[in-house]
Amino acid sequence: MLIVLIALTQNAVAETLNMPMFTHLSPWSNGTTATLKSNDGKAHGEITSFRPLADNETNPKNIASMTVVTGLSKNIGAVEYLTLLAQGMQQNCETMQLTRPKLLLEKHTPVSYATLYCSKIKNLDIGVIQTIKTLQGKDTMYAVIREWRVPPYNFDIKPSITEQFALSIFKSASEASDWIQQITDANDHLANQVSICANKQGEFGDACTSQ
């Protein structure tokens, strides 16, 4: 299993993002990383994207991504960051819906979850579904996203009616059932496997168990 551990040290505070890779559709690629920087230069970071090795390299249908941004979390929280990510996606969507993000506390870490539905990417013949978790560190914001690129769809059937919604997108009942299982597993994985911890006892979040 591919396990991603990112340790960031700033002002003598080190945090680690624990991100075991999603177990379905494994094995996954080692990841491709791009640099991020805000227009004002205050926030900067990286986004690393992964795909199942069985997927097409240039046009994958399944993506997992991990975003680490420094310089945001003192100004916004986990819910606000998730909302910013959704607003960025909305600019590229013909129609988008987002489940309402809620603030939770896990292992002393503020986190938020949501599912994003993009009916069709503008100028492309694909729709997108994302399940998202954001985590707020001391001076760093984290996002882990599992994304499916699917045929374009509409919202005649509400996404909350999961089985009928999936059947409206996919060609067969077996494909719909498989996607439902994948997103169920992904949500469970985000909730129970993805976390951040402090490398030093008493710093932000629970202490990492391995030193």
- Tell me how far apart the alpha carbons of residues 53 and 30 are, in angstroms, rounded to a whole number: 9
**Quick check: is 35 in a domain?**
yes
pTM value is 0.89
The per-residue pLDDT for range 99-153, each reduced to its tens digit, is 999 899 998 889 999 999 999 999 999 999 999 999 998 878 999 999 999 999 9
Phi/psi for 104 (5° steps) reads: -130, 165
Peptide bond into 20 cis (omega under 30): no
**Quick check: is 207 in a domain?**
no
- Expressed as residue numbers, the domain containing 132 is 3-198
**Quick check: is 159 in a domain?**
yes
Question: For position 172, which CATH number holds?
Answer: 3.40.1000
Helix (H, G, I), strand (E, B) or coil at 81: helix
**Quick check: is 104 in a domain?**
yes
**Quick check: is 203 in a domain?**
no
**Quick check: is 170 in a domain?**
yes
Q: How many domains does the chain have?
A: 1
